[in-house]
Amino acid sequence: MNKETVIEVQKVGIWYGENKAVKDINLTIERQKVFALIGPSGCGKSTLLRCFNRMNDFVDGFRIEGSISYRGMNIYDKKVDPVVVRKCIGMVFQKPNPFPSSIFENIAWAPRINGYKGDISELVETSLTKAGLWKEVKDRLKSSGFSLSGGQQQRLCIARTIAMQPDVILMDEPCSALDPISTSIIEELISELKKQYSIVIVTHSMQQAARVSDQTAFLFRGDLIEMGDTSKIFSMPDQKLTKEYISGKFG
Amino acid sequence: MINLNLNSNATTKSEHPLLDQKGNLGKRKLKSYIFAFMCFLATVSVIGLIAYLILDTYLQGSAWINADFFTNFASRMPNKSGIKAALFGTIWLLGITALFSIPVGVISGIYLEELMKRGYFHRFISVNVSNLAGVPSVVYGIFGLAFFVRMLGFERSLLSGALTLSLMSLPVIIISTREAIAAVPSSIKMGALAMGATKWQTARDHIFPTALPGILTGVILALSRAVGETAPLIILGAVSFLAFVPQGWNDGYTALPMQIYTWVSKPQEEFHQLAAATIIVLLGVLLVANSIAIFIRIRSRKVKL
């Protein structure tokens, strides 16, 4: 196993106007691992995640200090185009958000606008296969993405992200709108995907973090309380606050 | 249609709890019925009024609508009068106005809502666009006379008229475009941007198609209003009697509302009936234009949200 760092967060503070949502955090995210961000609502975990592909650029009053490096390059560097960042670091959202078009088009769109040279149909098939959706939809690629169930829609969104051939996949509570069966399918998928991609997942469910992730960071009110191997965080955390949170005393 | 059941208190026997109608239920239901009836009344009165107007116009004018009515020019004699010049003038006006106002309005709307940096300048423009939507059409006519007719020297041509009507339509088109775009779920937009799309690609492939039905509604509204306008055309010097069909953008013109206005102001009863017939044709033109837009709207909705 190589322990290559893919994202390095150094002294990152995030501001929304006057409000500091994330306070001077340092994190290291390794390649081909699943990294979970946990913590109670409003702790800044989604805010931090959205900085990894510069989605916070669209929020008014957003300001960031410190640096987030992707393979050694600060993604907030002036020379870096956020569009390119988002191509390398894909994102799956909390609520499945397929485009209002066919299943095929949902996946083919991003490669096409990014100037993909190969065979698009082939790419659609491999992406859907990787997302574990091919068998279910291969006979109705022309029907609307909205005709799928919630769990299928979320896998479609994952397939769509895979199709742009990213390096890192960010997942912002990808199962919070799904039923338990769909959730377990997606969790299996995450374990499968980490063979090829580095995954950062924000989750509300501690069980989910324990099940899918290799490393976990616990955030509380914008501070990073503890970070380490998931097995350690959930068995013998160093901090009292972490222990209280994972044992369900608050949150 | 009102079915009140206020006698429920009369039942003295103790009944099943689901059948118990004591207390203020009767009063609450009465209020509910009154509200529903008010809504019904308001709707019926509006629809009734419009139906009456259309029926009245139809009864007055329908006898005059025949082939000659469309192929003759206006004349001193009612029997020989037709609306050829006015009909073609209106079609020309509608066409040129659409040509200018739709692209400029829709693109401005997209820019203001989606691309322009929010700030004082943005707010300044937004407020002024909203204000312009409320400016009376006569004022646009005066502006058109000073700017297009005199300053730019377009004379009393179709172009002056159409450009003035375009200006008048722009605020409505811009505002409805902005509203339609703002109504596009941000999840779609964010999804597209997170896929490494540029703002232009996101707008072209996702925001614009999703907003299209709303945009078209605004366009229909604005153009319908423009086609029915008389006041600015009078100021701009649209001709009331014209014995030729405009051949190009720099020709003189008249339009259906102008023709209606001219005929209504004549003393003879026959001309009033001709005006009624012209109103029917104008409504027909609007209906056709709206149908085309609705057709496009339905087609663009092929993929349901």
> Predicted confidence band at B158 (pLDDT cuts at 50, 70, 90)?
confident
A160 touches chain B (CB under 8 A): yes
- From B10, B33, B64, give the residue that closes a domain: B64
Together in a domain, B55 and B73: no
Q: What does the domain layout of chain A look like in residue ranges?
A: 5-246
Judge if B183 and B277 occupy the same domain.
yes
Residue of A nearest to B190 (CA): A55
First and final C-alpha spacing in chain A: 35
> B210 with B188: CB under 8 angstroms?
yes
User: For residue B305, what pLDDT is reported?
Assistant: 45
Selecting from B118, B196, B210 the residue whose C-beta is nearest the C-beta of A87 gives: B196
B142 touches chain A (CB under 8 A): no
The verdict on pTM exceeding 0.90 is no
- Angstrom distance (rounded) from CA B230 to CA A248: 72
Are residues A113 and B190, on separate chains, in Cβ contact within 8 Å?
no
Closest CA to A145 of A93, A111, A106: A106
Residue B105 lies in a domain: yes
Same domain, B83 and B60: no
The answer to whether residue B5 sits within a structural domain is no
A40 Cα distance to chain centroid: 17
Contacts of A219 (CB under 8 A, 6+ apart): A22, A25, A37, A38, A39, A43, A44, A45, A48, A225
Nearest to B61 by CA among B257, B260, B279, B258: B279
Q: Which of A90-99, A119-128, B229-238, B255-264 has the lowest average pLDDT?
A: B229-238
Distance CA B6, CA B25 (A): 9
What confidence score (pLDDT) does residue A1 get? 41
Q: Does A17 touch chain B (CB under 8 A)?
A: no
One domain, residues B54 and B189: no
Whether B51 and B112 share a structural domain: no
What is the percent of chain B where pLDDT is above 90? 32
Residue B95, pLDDT > 50, answer yes
> Is B196 an 8 Å CB contact of chain A?
yes
Give the orientation angle of helix A150-163 with respect to helix A180-193, to 10 degrees. Answer: 20
Q: Is the pLDDT of residue B199 over 80?
A: yes
* CATH number of the domain enclosing B100: 1.10.3720.10
More confident residue, B246 or A227: A227
Between CA B260 and CA B279 the distance in angstroms is: 7
Give the containing element (helix H, strand E) for A226: strand A223-229
Instruction: Please indicate, yes or no, if residue B284 is contained in any of the structural domains.
Output: yes
Same domain, B52 and B80: no
Give the pLDDT band of residue B9 (cuts 50, 70, 90). Answer: low
Contact in structure between B260 and B278 (CB atoms under 8 Å): yes
| pLDDT at B304 exceeding the cut of 50 | no
Q: How many domains does chain B have?
A: 2
Q: For residues B202 and B85, which has the higher predicted lDDT (pLDDT)?
A: B202
Cα dist from A250 to A218, A242, A245, A246, whole Å? 13, 10, 6, 9
Instruction: Give B294→chain A minimum CA distance, Å.
Output: 20
pLDDT in tens, B26-48: 889 999 999 999 999 999 999 99
Identify the residue whose tokens are 């319908």.
Answer: B224
**A144: DSSP letter:** B
Is B172 inside any structural domain?
Answer: yes
pLDDT winner (highest mean) among A129-143, B55-69, B237-251: A129-143
User: Which class would CATH give A5-246?
Assistant: alpha beta
CB B42 within 8 A of CB B77: no
- Residue B81 sits at the vertex; the CA angle it makes with B75 and B85, to the nearest 5 degrees, is 80
Q: Is residue B3 part of a domain?
A: no
Rg (CA), chain B: 26
Task: Identify the pLDDT of residue B151.
Answer: 86
Residue B53 domain boundaries: 24-64
State how far the Cα of B252 lies from the Cα of B160, in Å rounded to an integer: 10
What does each of the 251 residues of chain A score in pLDDT, given as a tens digit?
Answer: 456 889 999 999 999 988 889 999 999 999 999 999 999 888 889 999 999 999 998 888 899 999 999 998 999 999 999 999 999 999 999 999 999 889 999 999 999 988 888 899 999 999 999 888 999 998 999 999 999 998 999 999 999 999 998 999 999 999 988 889 889 999 999 998 999 999 999 998 888 999 999 999 999 998 999 999 999 999 999 999 999 888 887 76
Residue B268: phi and psi, rounded to 5, are -70, 140
- Same domain for B41 and B128, yes or no, is no
Residue whose entry in the numeric block shows the structure tokens 């975990």: A45
Task: Supply the pLDDT for residue A79.
Answer: 92
Examine residue B248 and state whether it is found in any structural domain, yes or no: yes
pLDDT over 70 percentage in chain B: 93
What does the pLDDT read at residue B13? 59
Q: Is residue B16 part of a domain?
A: no
User: Chain B: nearest CA to A86, how far in angstroms?
Assistant: 5
Tokens of A107: 């996946």
Count the residues in chain A.
251
Instruction: Kindly report which listed range (A58-72, B57-71, B124-138) carries the lowest average pLDDT score.
Output: B57-71
- DSSP count for chain B of H helices, then E strands: 12, 0
- Distance in Å, alpha carbon of A5 to nearest chain B alpha carbon: 22
Domain final position from B34, B64, B94:
B64
Eight-class DSSP state of B118: P
Q: Do A99 and B192 touch (CB under 8 A)?
A: yes
Is residue A167 less than 8 Å (CB to CB) from chain B? Answer: no
pLDDT surpassing 90 at residue B220: no
Cβ distance of B190 and A144 shorter than 8 Å: no
CB contact under 8 A, B303 and A164: no
H-assigned helices in chain A: 45-51, 82-88, 103-113, 120-130, 134-137, 150-163, 180-193, 206-212, 230-235, 240-246
The DSSP element (H or E) to which A24 belongs, if any, is strand A19-30
Clarify whether residues B33 and B73 are in a common domain. Answer: no
Pairing of strands A19-30, A5-16: antiparallel
Rg (CA), chain A: 18
How many CB atoms sit inside 10 A of residue B264's CB?
A: 14
